[in-house]
Amino acid sequence: MLNYSELLKRINAKIASTSYGSNPKNLYEPIDYMMGLGGKRLRPVLTLMACDLYGKNIDEAINAALAVEVFHNFTLVHDDIMDNAPLRRGKETVYKKWDMPIAILSGDLMMIKAVELLAKTPNPRFYQILEVFNDTAAKVCEGQQIDMNFETRNDVTHHEYIDMIALKTAVLLGCSLKIGALIGGAETSDADHLYAFGKNMGIAFQIQDDILDSFGDGAQFGKRIGGDIASNKKTLLLIELMETVHKDDKILMNNMLNETNENKKIEGILKLYDKYQIKQFAEQKKQDYLKKAFESLQLVNIETTRKKTLEQTALELMERMS
Amino acid sequence: MLNYSELLKRINAKIASTSYGSNPKNLYEPIDYMMGLGGKRLRPVLTLMACDLYGKNIDEAINAALAVEVFHNFTLVHDDIMDNAPLRRGKETVYKKWDMPIAILSGDLMMIKAVELLAKTPNPRFYQILEVFNDTAAKVCEGQQIDMNFETRNDVTHHEYIDMIALKTAVLLGCSLKIGALIGGAETSDADHLYAFGKNMGIAFQIQDDILDSFGDGAQFGKRIGGDIASNKKTLLLIELMETVHKDDKILMNNMLNETNENKKIEGILKLYDKYQIKQFAEQKKQDYLKKAFESLQLVNIETTRKKTLEQTALELMERMS
């Protein structure tokens, strides 16, 4: 069994050696740029890891792994346009560095290249592999739209929020694992359990992300603490506060949401989070999804020792984030 | 052999009975809206026609045919954003009727749905079918980018222009036929000849379109005559004029390109088109590509009588446009 850093090396070597095309230059350059921005490469590593779980040569899954990473980066290119985001991993976003039409079109092309890479997986179960990919891709779009729709709503429930992050970010982790497992030769039931493991892990990761934005150690986390609060971002924490706040505190909460002094605003919302035990609520939710994830992993019908790498990856990622 | 109008009925029935999803509503509604705008449905009809050519039940190609149409509509949704176009088939474009993020995302989803539909084609040669689809999809993106790049160039040659329209619009006609032929059970060589037939027909159609915008009968053509001239659109005609204009006429041409009085501008450029026999040049090019198209059709290894429907379709479309 290969560990994360060994698999990451394989993925990075594959990314470095892959050319998507060259003409016209201003269409293909953004693809190389995006793919070169780095990152944890979590999704393709999971694909290889799931394939490796079944003792299959991971070379058979390398194109599918890259397909998932290219797909993920396509969604980032388009999300950055929609969110008007200037930076991605500390560098200019594609639509800022080039322009909006180029960002739309090179994103489209990345989506196509993702399918093209996936199709380089000769496998008798290719229809099944393509189906989970398409199904997941559609869910990711749905999640992004639901997230945008939340911006203009004040009655989002925490159930709706979790359903949204499941679609927007978590299913792709499940999909990465399921595709790797299918290539590895797993039974469909095993592949489905690994999908559930990845999806529930993904939900837990996102909740952790929400918690850390308000309660993390800024320096270690690499982001300004309270950024979500400052921008009124509808995280699990804010949604739960809005759902549970007593009517006597509602005016105070709304005042804080409209407060222009940022420090005062962050302090005010954090006080309400404390009063309503919002952090504890979110921690509990996170634990619930972690538990679900590990229950699914347990159902996977292979030797327990072979599952160690996946377990460790999940726990280390959670740890590294905290 | 089924004719165009019979195949069109089958396609329209399939479109009317297909649901792409419903939640979130504002993501799926634009898809139904776009697919309901109508049109000639040329691409999916070609897919069915090519399948029918080999005597195979066209039901086997119906999902692939719809996939091609959904893909085509996806490109229109995104092109309309890039071109800032307010209208499409006389109705508001998706990004005008909804907004830009929704147009990006519902377009993305259409691309995914196209692959999903294509994957509903159980066929031993599915990898080959998916390959021509992906390859064509990438070319369409390249063509759109090259077209956008032309806007800021004054040295585009007519060869470059024809290469661009081949990518942007013509290869998808070739692809539609090739996919239908493969599903129909054609030899790869036949499928390739049909691809070349469709591609060269597509180039001829686009040249015809360019000619008619400057020389057509406005009422019949359904567009204002001279619209391309008024907007300095780099058509085959303008590009050829720019390439061949004598240096003595260059100042006059540039004055006309910068002329703000629209009628004067159209009249001025048309005079130059006459002087340099630009219409004749374009007609000749159109004939060259039509000839190439029919040469490819001739190479298709089936009875000549079976090719009649395709021949007639091509000629009628050319006729109807003139």
* Confidence category of residue A218, pLDDT binned at 50, 70, 90: low
Q: How much is the ipTM here? A: 0.96
The per-residue pLDDT for range A110-128, each reduced to its tens digit, is: 999 999 999 999 999 999 9
Please give the pLDDT value at position A221: 55
Could you tell me the pLDDT band of residue B308, with boundaries at 50, 70 and 90? very high
Give CA–CA dist A55/A298, Å, rounded.
Answer: 18
- The phi and psi torsions of A293 (rounded to 5 degrees) equal -60, -50
A171: nearest Cα among A51, A57, A85, A75: A75
Q: Which residue from B75, B70, B17 is spatially nearest to B41, judged by alpha carbons?
A: B70
- For residues A189 and A205, give the distance between their C-alpha atoms in angstroms, rounded to a whole number: 24
Please give the Cα distance from A322 to B200 (Å, whole number): 60
**Look-up: residue for tokens 């709304």?**
A254
pLDDT at B20 over 90: yes
Q: What 3 state SS string does B35-97 have? A: HCCCCCCHHHHHHHHHHHHCCCCHHHHHHHHHHHHHHHHHHHHHHHHHCCCCEECCEECHHHH
pLDDT, chain A, mean: 95
Calculate what percentage of chain B has a pLDDT beyond 90: 93
The tens digit of pLDDT for each residue in A160-202 reads 999 999 999 999 999 999 999 999 999 999 999 999 999 999 9
**Residue A85 DSSP class:** -
Of A199, A151, A160, the closest CA to residue A43 belongs to: A199
pLDDT of residue A319: 83
Tally of CA atoms within 13 A in the half-sphere of B55 that contains its CB: 3
Q: Which residues of A touch B (CB under 8 A)?
A: 21, 23-24, 26-27, 78, 81-82, 100-102, 104-105, 107-109, 111-113, 115-116, 119, 122, 126-127, 130-131, 134-135, 137-138, 141-142, 144-146, 148-149
Residue of B nearest to A136 (CA): B112
**Environment class of residue A292 by beta-carbon count within 10 Å: exposed (0-12), middle (13-18) or buried (19+)?**
middle
Cis peptide before A30 (omega within 30 of 0): no
Chain-chain contact of A101 with B81 (C-beta, under 8 angstroms) = yes
Whether B236 and B162 have beta carbons less than 8 Å apart is answered as yes
Tell me the pLDDT tens digit for each residue of A140-154: 999 999 999 999 998
Give the whole-angstrom CA distance, residue A32 versus residue A109: 12
pLDDT tens digits for range B112-136: 999 999 999 999 999 999 999 999 9
B159: domain CATH number? 1.10.600.10
Q: What percent of chain A has pLDDT over 70?
A: 97
pLDDT of residue B25: 98
Q: Which of the 8 DSSP states describes residue A59?
A: G
Q: Which domain holds residue A317?
A: 4-321
CB pair distance less than 8 Å for B104 and A116: no
Across residues A230-248, what is the average pLDDT?
A: 95
Q: What is the pLDDT of residue A220?
A: 58
Please name every residue paired with A91 in a beta bridge, in sequence order, or none if there are none: A88
pLDDT for res A216: 85
The tokens describing B228, both together, are 């391309």
- Number of cross-chain residue pairs from A and B with Cβ atoms under 8 Å apart: 107
What number of other Cβ atoms are within 10 A of residue B277's Cβ?
13
Mean pLDDT calculated for residue range A284-291: 98
Residue B321 reports pLDDT greater than 80 = no
User: For A7-14, what is the mean pLDDT?
Assistant: 98
Is pLDDT of B35 > 80? yes
Position B198, amino acid = G
- Chain A partners within 8 Å of B81 (Cβ): 100-101, 104
Residues of chain A with Cβ-Cβ distance to B23 below 8 Å are 142
Does residue B30 have a cis peptide bond before it, meaning omega lies within 30 degrees of 0? no
Token pair listed for B315: 């000629």
Q: Is the pLDDT of residue B219 over 60?
A: no
3-class secondary-structure state, position A216? coil
CA distances from A28 to A15, A147, A224 (A): 14, 29, 33
DSSP A238-301: HHHHHHH--HHHHHHHHHHHH--SHHHHHHHHHHHHHHTTHHHHHHHHHHHHHHHHHHHHHHSS
Q: Both tokens of residue B312? A: 């007639």
Q: What is the pLDDT, as a whole number, of residue A49?
A: 98
The stretches of chain B forming alpha helices (DSSP H) are: 4-17, 25-35, 42-53, 62-82, 94-97, 100-118, 126-150, 158-165, 171-184, 188-215, 218-221, 227-230, 236-244, 247-258, 262-275, 278-299, 308-321
To test the contact with chain A by mutation, choose from B79, B81, B82, B105 the residue with the greatest count of A C-beta atoms within 10 A, namely B105
pLDDT category at A305 given cuts 50, 70, 90 is: very high
Set of chain B residues whose Cβ sits within 8 Å of the Cβ of A135: 116
Confidence of residue B225 (pLDDT cuts 50, 70, 90): confident
Q: How many structural domains is chain B composed of?
A: 1
Give the ranges where A151-246 is alpha helix by DSSP (H): 158-165, 171-184, 188-215, 218-221, 227-230, 236-244
Q: How much is the average pLDDT of B50-79?
A: 98
| In chain A, % of residues over pLDDT 90 | 93
pLDDT at A289 over 80: yes
Alpha-carbon separation of residue A63 from A179, B80, B258 (angstroms): 11, 33, 51
Q: Which two tokens stand for residue B143?
A: 């063509």
Q: Does the pLDDT at position A217 exceed 90? A: no
Checking if the pLDDT of B85 tops 60, the result is yes
* Yes or no, beta carbons of A101 and B148 under 8 Å apart: yes
* DSSP class of B306: G
- How large is the average pLDDT for residues A95-100? 97
Mutation target among B141, B144, B152, B153 for the A interface, most CBs of A within 10 A: B141
Take residue B222 and report the two structure tokens written for it. Answer: 């359904």
User: What residues of chain A lie within 8 A of the CB of B107, using their CB?
Assistant: 108
